[in-house]
Amino acid sequence: MSENVQDLHRQQKLYWDEMFELKVALSYIRLYRDSVGRWVTGLAALKAIASCAGIAAWVIWKEYAFVWGAIIAASQVADALKDVFPFAKKHKAACEHAVTLANLFIDVQLEWENVFSGRYTDDEIMKRLHQLRKLQLDAENTTFPMGWRSGMFCLIAPKRTPLSILG
């Protein structure tokens, strides 16, 4: 008897599980965004300090003007290339992806109420589940066309895994 009840709500459980995985993915991408954001902030701080220190040192020690000028020039080049650094690109993509997943999760939560209340047939639930999975994949492919773990700074992913978010 309990097996028939489980089969009766199988589609609802599959939808719930997918909604849960979406929430985990959203939490993970937010952690990843914050982790990469620390690198972006650190680079910005380093550029600002180098530029300001170079100008101040130039004023104090004029005989080393070439050195201070080189430091300022390097800071300006780093500023011009900030969007070229892999972690800056990944931070921007992670920010966009987090917003996309958050909006998707809001819609999925609303739709869950209709799924849970029994307003949808099993076929309708499966179609909606299929659409949800496609939307998630499309969002990832749009914001991370080369894969979100590609590049040389892939090791700065959050120290917590998606499963540790829950506990």
Q: Report whether pLDDT(95) > 70.
A: yes
| pLDDT tens digits, one per residue of 109-119 | 999 999 999 99
> Token pair for residue 103?
């909006």
Give 35-42's long-range contacts (Cβ < 8 A, gap of 24+): 35/156, 35/157, 35/158, 35/159, 36/87, 36/90, 36/91, 36/94, 36/153, 36/156, 37/91, 39/87, 39/91, 39/153, 39/156, 40/87, 40/88, 40/91
Which token pair is 157? 């992913």
First to last CA, the chain: 33
Domain segments of the chain as ranges: 11-37+83-166
- Report whether 89 contacts 83 (CB < 8 A): yes
20 — pLDDT class (breaks 50, 70, 90) = very high
The per-residue pLDDT for 73 is 82
Q: How far apart are CA 44 and CA 135, in angstroms?
A: 34
pLDDT of residue 165: 42
- Percent of the chain past pLDDT 90, that is, above it, reads 47
Give residues with Cβ within 8 angstroms of 24, minimum separation 6.
Answer: 162, 163, 165, 166
Instruction: Encode pLDDT of 109-161 as tens digits.
Output: 999 999 999 999 999 999 999 999 999 999 999 998 877 655 433 434 444 44
Q: Tell me which range, 55-59, 91-95, 106-110, 154-158, is most confidently predicted by mean pLDDT.
A: 106-110
Distance CA 84, CA 121 (A): 49
Lowest mean per-residue pLDDT among 67-81, 88-102, 145-159: 145-159
Average pLDDT, the chain: 81
